[in-house]
Chains A and B, each alone.
Chain A
């Protein structure tokens, strides 16, 4: 499926070339009307004026972006100095998502490697085991993680019972809980691409390295990891990007106290703030960040492909 994901699949024939316009029309219509137009409209909204008690006025305004980047003091009458609040939230989201990605990588790499080196027949079963939890509702997984981490929850009970700690740890409503939640939400996204890369890895390279008296860990670092790097990068993106805009983990595990981008945006539309232009602006900024990451990734991919051929 890797080829499909990168360029929509290889062209196998031109049997239906005459009707391809009609065949693509439903997809074009649906996605232009329901994704492209809405996103453009969101861009427009981010430049509208917020009504005092919620709602928008169709009047051009930079207020949303001004609120994002400019600190004008408590009373809104000071000259613009850099507003750190929202930058902090974005930075926190990047940091949390980054840590979650790192945790995922640490656990997933050995797992994926282990599975890929099993005999063909058992591999499928291992993969099956890894993917099943992904099919369970994200909400339910987050809730069960909340249940696990509670002060009187199973994790604390076990730790106290073993005697590692005397008093239950405060885990719920902390950044740690959010990271664990994100890690748990997207773990399979990391395992699968790394697995695919290790599966394609040519083990004669490891043998060659061993013949040259490289130790196992030198081989791992100098040979295996560089050659499966594309899989690692793909996995990191698949975990990092959705973590960046996550809403459930910070809300249910973080106590809604330390905002992440997702919760900030949600607050503007469903919560107390009711500031649609600002929510649209924050969404635009998030979208731009993700698009930059994906573009860099695509560049790097095509470069790698170019170097490979």
Chain B
């Protein structure tokens, strides 16, 4: 019995150490789902002899919540959107680096260097940028789709067949654009109207989901859905007869950025990874996979031909693109209440 116990314990010890091995040369990425090709991770892994692990999230808010809830110090890099970089920076969740640590730093495009959410790129590099609006199935609805009415006051053909992104930031911003009220408005009447709008619109929505946003359009489970432009393009390429809308009331633009997290367990590898992503060829690989637009110089020769003419990536001139703003604590609390009441 003792022998049996002893050998069991020994076997267990070996097994556990077996899983925990390769602690050297690791990189832990916290990333959006379906946003980086596996081949690229494998390439980085092989090139630098680093074991890459990745977890995914499906909204900027989920990223923030999970990191604040005890996950700081377990990931090296994350990929928040513009306004979330600002919030995370204000919360002291980001580490800084100097451009000299990254030989490819100068590949960053001029217009993405001096950004308001991270002046001079002290803790982030551009990943991809794109827009958020919605796509509509043209077999189901053939009318004008370039209006936010599609989501918030839908025509009868689309009622009950709409998927909405499960993220307060983008959904409430689009609702604000629909109402023509400023973002992060402190005006009580405007906030009340915003609340009423989404509460009334909810009856027409079939589901809340970000990770399912593409699949529901492809499978036909939804006839219209809020979606990011590249994800919408992928849905179209997978056979959905859908069109991406540029609503006249406005739509959202964003830039996702790779940030260096504070207390990163593998800071050195994180810098290598960020530098790796600034290589034009690698940035282009992300673009070809995710169908957004890179913020890196020299990607042109590496890009898919299909991207050049894609309506999702070529907005008409004169639209009203808006970045999501980081609201003050008072307003954010009201937004949280609106969102919680909505999702009940």
> Hey, which bits of chain A sit against chain B, CB under 8 A?
51-55, 74-76, 85-86, 88-89, 150-152, 170, 172-173, 255-257, 259, 267, 269-274, 276
Instruction: Report B309-344 CB contacts with A as 1/0, cut-off 8 Å.
Output: 000000000000000000001001110111111011
**In the complex, are the beta carbons of A256 and B344 less than 8 A apart?**
no
**Set of chain B residues within 8 Å of A273, measured between Cβ atoms:** 65, 336, 340
Q: Which of B59, B61, B340 has the most chain A CB within a 10 Å cutoff?
A: B340
Instruction: State the majority secondary structure of interface residues on B.
Output: helix
Output the nearest chain A residue to B91 by Cβ-Cβ distance. Answer: A53
Q: In the bound complex, how far is the Cα of B218 from the Cα of A150, in angstroms?
A: 12
Q: How far is the CB of A54 from chain B (nearest CB, A)?
A: 3
Question: With A74-B195, A76-B337, A88-B344 as given contacts, are A53 and B64 in contact (CB-CB < 8 Å)?
Answer: yes
> Hey, which bits of chain B sit against chain A, CB under 8 A?
59, 61-62, 64-69, 87, 91, 160, 163, 166-168, 188, 191-192, 195, 202, 205-209, 219-221, 329, 332-334, 336-341, 343-344
**Set of chain B residues within 8 Å of A270, measured between Cβ atoms:** 62, 66
Q: In the bound complex, how far is the Cα of B65 from the Cα of A54, in angstroms?
A: 5
Question: With A255-B209, A257-B205 as given contacts, are A52 and B329 in contact (CB-CB < 8 Å)?
Answer: yes
**In the complex, are the beta carbons of B340 and A150 less than 8 A apart?**
no
Q: In the bound complex, how far is the Cα of B195 from the Cα of A173, in angstroms?
A: 23
**Set of chain B residues within 8 Å of A170, measured between Cβ atoms:** 160, 206
Output the nearest chain B residue to A52 by Cβ-Cβ distance. Answer: B329
Output the nearest chain B residue to A252 by Cβ-Cβ distance. Answer: B212
**In the complex, are the beta carbons of A152 and B220 less than 8 A apart?**
yes
**In the complex, are the beta carbons of B191 and A256 less than 8 A apart?**
no
Question: With A255-B206, A259-B343, A272-B59 as given contacts, are A54 and B64 in contact (CB-CB < 8 Å)?
Answer: yes
Q: How far is the CB of A146 from chain B (nearest CB, A)?
A: 10
Partner of B62, one of A74, A172, A256, A271: A271
**Set of chain B residues within 8 Å of A151, measured between Cβ atoms:** 219-221
Q: In the bound complex, how far is the Cα of B337 from the Cα of A75, in angstroms?
A: 8
Q: How far is the CB of B220 from chain A (nearest CB, A)?
A: 6
**In the complex, are the beta carbons of A272 and B167 less than 8 A apart?**
yes
**In the complex, are the beta carbons of A271 and B65 less than 8 A apart?**
yes
Q: In the bound complex, how far is the Cα of B87 from the Cα of A273, in angstroms?
A: 15
Q: How many A-B residue pairs have CB under 8 A?
A: 91
Q: In the bound complex, how far is the Cα of B91 from the Cα of A133, in angstroms?
A: 48
- List 5 A-B pairs, minimum CB-CB distance, nearest first: A274-B65, A255-B207, A54-B68, A272-B61, A55-B68
Q: In the bound complex, how far is the Cα of B69 from the Cα of A267, in angstroms?
A: 13
**In the complex, are the beta carbons of A85 and B338 less than 8 A apart?**
no
**Set of chain A residues within 8 Å of B69, measured between Cβ atoms:** 54-55, 269, 274, 276
- What are 27 sample pairs from A and B whose C-beta atoms fall under 8 A apart? A53-B68, A53-B87, A53-B91, A54-B64, A54-B69, A55-B69, A74-B192, A74-B195, A74-B334, A74-B338, A75-B191, A75-B334, A76-B333, A76-B334, A85-B341, A89-B344, A151-B219, A152-B220, A170-B160, A173-B206, A173-B221, A255-B206, A255-B208, A256-B209, A267-B343, A272-B339, A273-B340
11 new A-B contacts at CB < 8 Å, known A51-B68, A255-B163, A271-B166: A54-B65, A74-B337, A88-B344, A150-B219, A170-B206, A255-B209, A257-B202, A257-B207, A270-B66, A272-B62, A272-B339
**Set of chain A residues within 8 Å of B191, measured between Cβ atoms:** 74-75
**Set of chain A residues within 8 Å of B332, measured between Cβ atoms:** 52
Q: In the bound complex, how far is the Cα of B222 from the Cα of A172, in angstroms?
A: 10
**Set of chain B residues within 8 Å of A88, measured between Cβ atoms:** 344
Output the nearest chain B residue to A271 by Cβ-Cβ distance. Answer: B62
Q: How far is the CB of B185 from chain A (nearest CB, A)?
A: 13
**Set of chain B residues within 8 Å of A51, measured between Cβ atoms:** 68
**Set of chain B residues within 8 Å of A257, measured between Cβ atoms:** 202, 205-208, 343
**In the complex, are the beta carbons of B65 and A272 less than 8 A apart?**
yes
**In the complex, are the beta carbons of B334 and A274 less than 8 A apart?**
no
Q: Which of B62, B66, B334, B343 has the most chain A CB within a 10 Å cutoff?
A: B343
Q: Which of A54, A255, A271, A272 has the most chain B CB within a 10 Å cutoff?
A: A272
Q: In the bound complex, how far is the Cα of B64 from the Cα of A269, in angstroms?
A: 11
Q: In the bound complex, how far is the Cα of B68 from the Cα of A53, in angstroms?
A: 8
**Set of chain A residues within 8 Å of B344, measured between Cβ atoms:** 85-86, 88-89, 259
Q: In the bound complex, how far is the Cα of B331 from the Cα of A75, in angstroms?
A: 9
Q: In the bound complex, how far is the Cα of B188 from the Cα of A272, in angstroms?
A: 24
Output the nearest chain A residue to B67 by Cβ-Cβ distance. Answer: A54
Q: Which of A54, A85, A86 has the most chain B CB within a 10 Å cutoff?
A: A54
